[in-house]
Structure 1
């Protein structure tokens, strides 16, 4: 049965007391800081840990795609789970705590013989991913109650910049731990807790503790007693997750699926390429894998101001135009400095994408549909990641080397498919309200601080 609720219900019904807003925003910033510490210790090192445990390239594809797919499918039930609990905050707290336990459990993989250590690690990463995915939609719904529409781009841009700096610092701290622990050592075909595996044990255990800090600050966030923002309870149906009554949202989701599927053809294997084909050490690897996210977060506030002024749809179209250039630039050269510059450029572009998607969802989905809209986005990301990553992993295994690695061919294919996705979707993403006109040249000047936004 079709949901007849208005997708753009007024948000004045859910006014939050000013003191509660300040407390909740402060708690969300501290939650973000602990989240950044956890992800800085975990996310860049999932692939290196798996390689140290004996994973193949196709195994990396499985590790980077199947947990995301399962998480996206579980999102079908997320809206009903939140409604059953009767609280977004409780749903976030449960999943954040579960993610903390999963990160800590990943450290235990180093104590198991091959292949059981790798299998246990995959299970831990799956639990880590599922709980993180499930926490996101109700968290986004809560945040929508604190930040007015005119300030969302600026606030989320500021928060993302703070998170990025902490993430970058944490990633290098984890890299230092791995670098001083020495080369891998194996005993009778099974990895023992020596060399870098000792470092992995430490960083994953610490990550679990950091996430528990997040869980505490989630409890400090205010939730309106009116429960206007909550989804309705009822039977979960797969088709319901796509039911918005909003053509602009559906067009955006279709466009995102095309671009992300082409992106994930190559995205999970940059780590494999850098470590196994280019033979970079952990410090160079960490710099390459974190300079992009750092630039993303540093430019988030600028992108957020642009989104507030010119619309999220404008940012999405711009990012869709530039994202296809990244894999093609990677295919041209293997010089470390060159690749670092490419990754910095990539991070800036993906910042526009992230702010664009975030604001578009807030603009087009009413308060009581935001959990569903974010769940639908997560489902699309998971399916695209699974399809693209599994195909990319297979190609990595069967394609012949070109210029030293089969990954070069995968990069070119990914770039071509991303351009195809741009041409298909460029006309589909539309803004729901009038915006001030401005050329891309003026937007670029403002982005780099060379022109005021109203100049």
Structure 2
């Protein structure tokens, strides 16, 4: 079916009646939007924990900073399908983006005014922030999947990922420089206010660019019985033992990672007294390694299967927190971060591909991905809460048991418990993992992953688009 712009639309990409013209305009705006929105995501993915520490968050509150926004984000995805069906898709996405920018501005204002309950206000704003991201994501994915031509999807999203990476890392470095400079002047509040203001301006620009784009199907069919259908889908999927074991493994591993994830920033900034720029460089060591090694792991999994990559990386990941106990040398920390990037890139890619392989043939991959993501978000919340409790009482426990002579920092207890629990999850899953039945492997144009964001501790965040399989000319 030919997609034609609506004559009633008043945005620039829709005014042209030539399909090729409005398509080129929309794709160009989308690439520009990737750069604009990256100024926000680079801040949220990597400075939220540092900001919470600046606001004076306790160890227990650091668990809330990590867990609660993730939980509400998963609930927002469920609400998104029903809510967006009552509005124009483009207008819904733009409205959510604008509100998200306002939320980010509010975060910057907290740094300037520092109210007594600043930490809890920040946690509330972080919940709204994640909620808006997850309200947008399913509909943005459907929108892009509709307008990007099949033959160009691989190249388009590869280009978009490169733009996102360059913009994000640039903002990350600039943010670290701003915070280091202002902190040296005893004005870190100004640095965070500027950083979040830049992020908000990027999101406002992103919303404006989204408004310029054309949506050939602006109205989504109204959805009824969304929640009942979702639980029905979950019940049916859960009957599959392979999917059940896989989901519990991924969610369980993320749960155990969440026990320690909020406290690496605490350890670097509070205990090792890193400058913000040193903090940024240590994170970049992990992030860059993840980007570089994704291609390696992709080729390795094509040769030996995703199950083997999952097993290898799930044996590497438990060691990551433990390595932080042996030295506080900066070069050693950089090496640990690079090693974590190697492990997390393989784990993220292989688990995403494995989910595609184990789903029942011809079933909707979107349903299985959404169910697994929702389960993981719930487990992350639990893990972060447990980590906060452990960190809050670690010092007293170490003194009571006499282990404080060995574990010189209470956070080390959190790292050790996370290591043990990650190991138990891996040991539980390895004998239960199975190699999926042979099926046509997804080619570049059949299953496309794009990098949505990145985190120095828990890896890159992959988003996906499924498209029709490319036809081959047998005569060639």
TM interval, short-chain normalised: 0.7 to 0.9
Distance in 1 (alpha carbons) for counterparts of 2:212 and 2:78: 28
Aligned-pair CA distance for 1:68: 1.5
Structure with bigger RCO (C-alpha 8 Å, 6+ apart) = 1
Gaps of 5+ in 2: 5-18, 399-403, 442-476
**For the structure 1 residues 367 and 388, does the alpha-carbon distance in structure 2 shift closer, same or farther, using more than 3 Å as the test?**
same
Partner of 1:61 in structure 2? Answer: 63
Partner of 2:250 in structure 1? Answer: 256
Aligned to 2:328, the other structure's residue is in SS state: coil
Distance in 2 (alpha carbons) for counterparts of 1:220 and 1:140: 17
Aligned to 2:326, the other structure's residue is in SS state: coil
Deviations 1:91-135 (A, max 9, x none): 443333322221111111124344133333222222112112332
Deviations 1:402-444 (A, max 9, x none): 44212222212212221221232233365464478xxxxxxxx
Distance in 2 (alpha carbons) for counterparts of 1:261 and 1:239: 22
Aligned-pair CA distance for 1:211: 1.5
Partner of 1:190 in structure 2? Answer: none
**For the structure 1 residues 236 and 86, does the alpha-carbon distance in structure 2 shift closer, same or farther, using more than 3 Å as the test?**
farther
Partner of 1:9 in structure 2? Answer: none
**For the structure 1 residues 334 and 314, does the alpha-carbon distance in structure 2 shift closer, same or farther, using more than 3 Å as the test?**
same
Of 376-385 and 413-422, more deviation after overlay is shown by 376-385
2:140 matches 1:139: yes
Partner of 2:73 in structure 1? Answer: 71
Distance in 2 (alpha carbons) for counterparts of 1:85 and 1:145: 18
Whether contact under 8 Å (1:161, 1:297) holds in the other structure is: no
2:388 matches 1:393: yes
Aligned-pair CA distance for 1:210: 0.7
Whether contact under 8 Å (1:137, 1:370) holds in the other structure is: no
Distance in 1 (alpha carbons) for counterparts of 2:31 and 2:351: 20
Gaps of 5+ in 1: 1-12, 186-194, 437-455
**For the structure 1 residues 143 and 278, does the alpha-carbon distance in structure 2 shift closer, same or farther, using more than 3 Å as the test?**
same
Partner of 2:378 in structure 1? Answer: 383
**TM-score when normalising by structure 2:** 0.74
User: Which of 406, 410, 419 is residue 423 of structure 2 equivalent to?
Assistant: 419
Deviations 1:39-68 (A, max 9, x none): 223332222222222221111111221122
**For the structure 1 residues 226 and 170, does the alpha-carbon distance in structure 2 shift closer, same or farther, using more than 3 Å as the test?**
closer
Partner of 2:231 in structure 1? Answer: 239
Aligned-pair CA distance for 1:264: 0.7
Of 77-86 and 335-344, more deviation after overlay is shown by 77-86
Partner of 1:449 in structure 2? Answer: none
Partner of 1:122 in structure 2? Answer: 123
Partner of 1:8 in structure 2? Answer: none
User: Which of 273, 283, 288 is residue 267 of structure 2 equivalent to?
Assistant: 273
1:324-335 matches, within 5 Å, as 324-335=318-329
Whether contact under 8 Å (1:265, 1:388) holds in the other structure is: yes
Whether contact under 8 Å (2:309, 2:347) holds in the other structure is: yes
Whether contact under 8 Å (1:52, 1:184) holds in the other structure is: no
In our comparison, the structure showing a higher alpha carbon Rg is 2
**For the structure 1 residues 365 and 58, does the alpha-carbon distance in structure 2 shift closer, same or farther, using more than 3 Å as the test?**
farther
Whether contact under 8 Å (1:155, 1:301) holds in the other structure is: no
Partner of 1:94 in structure 2? Answer: 95
Matched residue count: 413
Aligned-pair CA distance for 1:354: 3.0
Partner of 1:31 in structure 2? Answer: 33
2:174 matches 1:179: no
Aligned to 2:408, the other structure's residue is in SS state: coil
Aligned to 1:340, the other structure's residue is in SS state: helix
Partner of 1:80 in structure 2? Answer: 82
Partner of 1:428 in structure 2? Answer: 433
Aligned-pair CA distance for 1:352: 2.5
**For the structure 1 residues 324 and 90, does the alpha-carbon distance in structure 2 shift closer, same or farther, using more than 3 Å as the test?**
farther
Partner of 1:200 in structure 2? Answer: 192
2:220 matches 1:215: no
